Structure 1
Amino acid sequence: MKIAIGADHAGFRLKDDIIRALQAEGHVVEDFGCHCADSIDYPDYALPVCEQVVSGKADRGILICGTGIGMSIAANKIPGIRCALAGDLFSAKATREHNDSNVLALGERVVGPGVALEIVKVWIETEFSQGPRHQGRIDKIKRLEDKYGARS
């Protein structure tokens, strides 16, 4: 699987841990930064990751900031992105099965690296439950995007 990944200054250390783990599992990972603790703006890193996912150049995306909240808000402004903030294994699995999330947001200051790596593994390995109930909800989300666009 090809995965685009990005982080702000509060998430770049966890990003590096996730990249190593994903590559060890045989995934192709494209790193969109950042690479240091200098304060930056998370939307600047959410955008290129999400563009890769929407364009099909990446199968999925992962975004990391201090809490994961800012990244998830920014990502969900982009039509076609279904970004889920997950801090536990149940949520990571459910958001793939029920919501067909294509971007995962994590908070380095909230979730330790051990749990974060487990969350990523579960999220990557879980397939979308292709039933009419869940697909119908995804279709409704698409209609919301079509109607309102990516307005705030």
Structure 2
Amino acid sequence: MIALGSDHGGYELKKEIINYLEENNIAYKDFGCDSMESVDYPVYARRVANAIVDGECDKGILICGTGIGISIAANKVKGIRAALCHDVFSAEATRLHNDTNILAMGGRVVGPGLAIKIVDTFINTEFSNDERHIRRINQIEE
């Protein structure tokens, strides 16, 4: 299951991603926000991150205006590896090399068409299980 969260700056893009997930029968849970009204992104980053750490969801997608703040907030939660991606190559590489569990994007940075390609790549790329990448992830976790 995919955990979704956004602030007001990412709300419109989150709706586009929800449409993609529903069209492709991909299970998700939306942790808010629910409108364009100004909210604080750390609240939604924490909700999504906790859902992953607690095992309620497998991966997450977070969106704020730039993706920067919400990814920083998510990475404060132990066990989370959130990556800010605004291109398909980075989304693929971060799954292959970093086994990231949250994709962050900027709703004011990336358009819906590209965002869907990034989401699709992030969701469908498996971790490489390469020994050198495992070693590096372990170093990050320490």
- 1:80 to 2:79 alignment: yes
Aligned residue runs from structure 1 range 3-42, under 5 A = 3-42=2-41
Counterpart CA distance in 2 for 1:102 and 1:86 is 13
Q: Deviations over 1:92-124 (max 9, x none)?
A: 000000000000000010000000000000010
Give the residue type in structure 2 aligned to 1:67: T
Secondary structure of residue in 1 paired with 2:100: coil
Aligned residue runs from structure 1 range 1-152, under 5 A = 2-143=1-142
Q: TM-score, with normalisation over the residues of structure 2?
A: 0.98
Q: Deviations over 1:61-89 (max 9, x none)?
A: 00000000000000000000000000000
Quote the offset at 1:35 in angstroms: 1.4
Secondary structure of residue in 2 paired with 1:61: strand
Kindly report the root-mean-square deviation, in angstroms, between the aligned alpha carbons of the 2 structures: 0.6
**Residue correspondences, number:** 142
Q: TM-score, with normalisation over the residues of structure 1?
A: 0.92
Secondary structure of residue in 1 paired with 2:9: coil
Counterpart CA distance in 2 for 1:23 and 1:61 is 15
Secondary structure of residue in 2 paired with 1:56: coil
Secondary structure of residue in 2 paired with 1:27: coil
Secondary structure of residue in 2 paired with 1:10: helix
Q: Hey, what does 1:147 align to over in structure 2?
A: none
